[in-house]
Amino acid sequence: MRYSTTHKQQTRQKLLESSGALAKRGGFAATGVAGLMKAIGLTGGAFYNHFPSKDDLFTEVVRRELSSSPIAQQPMNRARLERCLDQYLSMAHLHNVEGGCAIPTLGAEIARAELPVRAEAEHWLCSLQHAWTQTLEDPDLAWALLSQCVGALLIARMLASEPLQEQVLKASRDFITGALHEAP
């Protein structure tokens, strides 16, 4: 049976959405093609109707996840940036692995991925850094705050104790608030 172009596009979109959530929950490399397809109710063989390889899917997952980040939206004034960073460094975001930022959850896998995946991540990270630079008027501060946010969320997720998680996030929020108020 031949499916319409619309059906194929909808299936591809479902696969991207599902794969992003699965990757953030359990790792992209750890989930096989059959598992990715099973999550949307299809067989593994149907995968290749949508992507030539799993790496191509990973590239698209990275594009989709990083391009849709609320902290990458432009234009952004300083007050909005501060609100976004407060939400980013929150316990709600810490617990929302599947719906949260892909950078702390997929960063290590992206670093080990093939060049097209890393190039896609670089494009979106540079776009994010550029947006923050426009707001902060300091490219180095933009990179430092981006790194601080991702690192703090990653470290907090590594901890077993919720009070320690909260302490890491609060310390990072306080540090960022100080850095933002010292910046021009």
The residue ranges of every structural domain in the chain are 5-52, 65-182
Q: Is 41 left (phi over 0), alpha (psi -120 to 50) or beta?
A: left
CA atoms within 13 A on the CB side of 94: 25
Q: What CATH number was assigned to the domain covering residues 65-182?
A: 1.10.357.10
| pTM, full prediction | 0.83
Whole-number Å distance between alpha carbons of 61 and 160: 28
Percent of the chain predicted with pLDDT > 90? 42
Q: What CATH number was assigned to the domain covering residues 5-52?
A: 1.10.10
* Res 38: pLDDT: 82
Q: Could you give the angle at which helices 78-88 and 115-136 cross, rounded to 10 degrees?
A: 130
- Give whole-number Cα distances, 89 to 30, 34, 96, 98, in Å: 27, 35, 12, 16
Q: Is the pLDDT of residue 1 over 60?
A: no
Residue in this structure with the two tokens 């989930």, named with its chain if needed? 31
* Res 75: pLDDT: 64
181 — phi, psi (to 5°)? -80, -25
The confidence band for 122, taking pLDDT boundaries of 50, 70 and 90, is very high
* Res 152: pLDDT: 97
